[in-house]
Amino acid sequence: MDKVMRLASEKDVVVFSKSSCCLCYAITILFQELGVTSTVHEIDQDPEGREMEKTLVRLGCNAPVPAIFVGGRLVGSTNEVMSLHLSGGLIPMLKPYQTWC
Amino acid sequence: MSSSSLEVSTPMEEEGIEAIETWNVGEQQELEGDEGSKLSIALDINSTCAKVAFFIISKSMNSPTPQFVPSRLGIYEPIHQTGIWGENFKSNGNPNTSTSVIVEVDNKLENESETTSHEMLAPSNNYEQEASKPIDKIQRRLAQNREAARKSRLRKKAYVQQLENSRLKLIQLEQELQRARQQGLYMGGVLEGSHIGFSGTVNSEDSVGIAAFEMEYGRWVDVQHRQICELRTALNAHISDIELRILVESGMGHYFELFRMKSTVAKADVFYVISGVWKTSAERFFSWIGGFRPSELLKVLVPQLDPLTEQQILEVCNLKQSCQQAEDALSQGMEKLQETVSSTVAGGPVDEVSYIPQVATAMEKLEALVSFVNQADHLRQETLQQMSRILTTRQAARGLLALGEYFHRLRALSTLWATRPSEPSLP
């Protein structure tokens, strides 16, 4: 529980992923498109990966990855991010963290 | 004629007879088939060689060919030899040879007179004539027979292996044919266009799931058509907004039903969904991750919705943009998946026969395809729901009519294309 929340609050936009997960990759592409640099933690490369996976599931993510945290708070998985974006709610949420080069 | 008619009494011969019997199980047909090589089949047994040789000849008598002649002459000798052999051994006091061999051979000859030719009877007459053949010639002949037998066994082994492989292939082909027929049955009557359903190599459970989907989808298209007609009538009749709302809800629900159906069949065979083979050809042309592009949907809808308020135009514009961004992200994710699977399959040394590790790993990666199909459908659903939120009831009804009519026209295009007159070949 701790590691996940700790990592989630360390950076603005955090995506928990797995090295082989292409859907996670798609999410990072979307954030990139929206001018946000996301920090990706690959839990399958982490020694505490199993624990982190259990935590994410406990927090409500059906598929443990991708799990997206914005401003330290859990947004959800791909479904939630997509719905939020189409309803126009994602950009306002990301506004504080947008970094346009 | 069968080996059971050869009666064996001596223990010494049992070994050979056992060999004959195992040899004969299921092989009698084979013997009748391939002529030349079969004649040279002589089991590698010692004193019962004659019995075997006799057996071979008696069988071969049933299908005489020119090829037989030299072989017969070759085989005949052992019988002569055995006749003498028995005599010689007897005279040497060898307990291993029994007179019964010769006697039984003689009996055999008498019993099988119907199926044997004159040539066959000849050796029995020649027994006494050939009494002076030396022993080492006999030994040489036996060695030759043993070698021939060994070669025959190897040939037979290869042949059987080939037969087994062909048999398996045949079973596989029959199963595929069965599946294709099963799907052709549903597809033919139900869908427009001239595409053939294929299932590749899915297992039977999956084909049931696919067949069920195809039936349901056929019904779905029919209901869709009915709903479009109802919407058209309702819009022209200027019915109340409340009644129109019911039609809109049911129209939306119908699309969501399709996404549910697709989700189920994607678990059975995601390639089936992605291939778009369940749709008509023109629809397939526009296919994106197993369905229509959400951005395409908006392009079709929006022109039909005039007049839109300023607020609506803004919201639709935002929806278009976010839709496009989400689509691009998923498309890039799919590309990454293709790269991953491709490099996994191509990995490892190609000069090694076993590719199992690469294929197994690729299988795991391909599981992600189901998630992508689900995400794409989720995007389609969200786009529809957002439009429904932005628009008024009447606009939403017009939108659903426009969308339904669009796909209906695509299906008609597919049929028209399939039945267009073929162009005359150029001189």
Contact A26 B386 (CB under 8 A): no
Q: Report which residue type is found at B179.
A: R
What is the pairing mode between strands A67-70 and A39-42? unpaired
**Is the CB of A86 inside 8 Å of chain B's CB atoms?**
yes
Would you say B50 and B76 are in contact if contact means Cβ atoms under 8 Å apart? no
The low-confidence residues of chain B, meaning pLDDT below 70, are: 1-133, 182-203, 424-427
Would you say B72 and B39 are in contact if contact means Cβ atoms under 8 Å apart? yes
Q: Report which residue type is found at B121.
A: L
- Checking ipTM against 0.85, whether it exceeds it is yes
Residue B345: per-residue pLDDT: 87
Residue B402: per-residue pLDDT: 95
Contact A88 B323 (CB under 8 A): no
Nearest to B365 among A20, A27, A86 (CB): A20
Distance, in Å, from the CA atom of B144 to the CA atom of B148, rounded to the nearest integer, reads 6
Q: Which two tokens stand for residue B423?
A: 């162009």
In chain B, what residues touch A30 (CB-CB under 8 Å)?
325-326, 328-329
Nearest to A27 among B329, B365, B368 (CB): B329
**Non-local CB neighbours of B231 within 8 Å, separated by 6+ positions:** B247, B251, B397, B400, B401, B404
3-state secondary structure of B266: helix
Contact B333 A29 (CB under 8 A): yes
In chain B, what residues touch A78 (CB-CB under 8 Å)?
371, 375, 378
**B335 to chain A: nearest residue by CA?**
A22
Residues within 8 A of A (CB atoms), B 385-424 only: 386
Residue B77: per-residue pLDDT: 44
Lowest mean pLDDT among A1-10, A35-44, B381-390, B394-403: A1-10
Q: What is the pTM of this model?
A: 0.61
Distance, in Å, from the CA atom of B101 to the CA atom of B295, rounded to the nearest integer, reads 91
Q: Which two tokens stand for residue B260?
A: 């549910």
Nearest to A78 among B319, B375, B386 (CB): B375
Per-residue pLDDT band for A63 (boundaries 50, 70, 90) equals confident
Q: Report which residue type is found at A64.
A: P
Residue B3: per-residue pLDDT: 41
All domains in chain A, ordered by first residue? 2-97 (3.40.30.10)
Contact A82 B326 (CB under 8 A): yes
**Is the CB of B337 inside 8 Å of chain A's CB atoms?**
yes
**B338 to chain A: nearest residue by CA?**
A22
3-state secondary structure of B354: coil
What is the pairing mode between strands A73-76 and A67-70? antiparallel
Residue B168: per-residue pLDDT: 80
How near does any CA of chain B get to the CA of A81, in Å?
A: 10
**B390 to chain A: nearest residue by CA?**
A87
Tell me which residue of A63, A73, A65, A77 sits closest to A97, measured CA to CA. A73
Q: DSSP per residue over B83-138, as a string? A: HHHHHHHHHHT-TTS-HHHHHHHHHHHHHGGGTS-HHHHHHHHHTTTTTT--HHHH
Residue keyed to tokens 């819009």: B235
Nearest to B325 among A33, A83, A87 (CB): A33
What size, in residues, is chain A?
101
Nearest to B379 among A34, A82, A88 (CB): A82
* CA B267 to mean position of chain CA atoms: 22
Residue B350: per-residue pLDDT: 78
**Is the CB of A79 inside 8 Å of chain B's CB atoms?**
yes
Distance, in Å, from the CA atom of B374 to the CA atom of B394, rounded to the nearest integer, reads 30
Residue B69: per-residue pLDDT: 43
**Is the CB of A62 inside 8 Å of chain B's CB atoms?**
no
Distance, in Å, from the CA atom of A91 to the CA atom of B400, rounded to the nearest integer, reads 28
**Is the CB of B27 inside 8 Å of chain A's CB atoms?**
no
In chain A, what residues touch B375 (CB-CB under 8 Å)?
23, 26, 78-79, 82
Per-residue pLDDT band for A3 (boundaries 50, 70, 90) equals confident
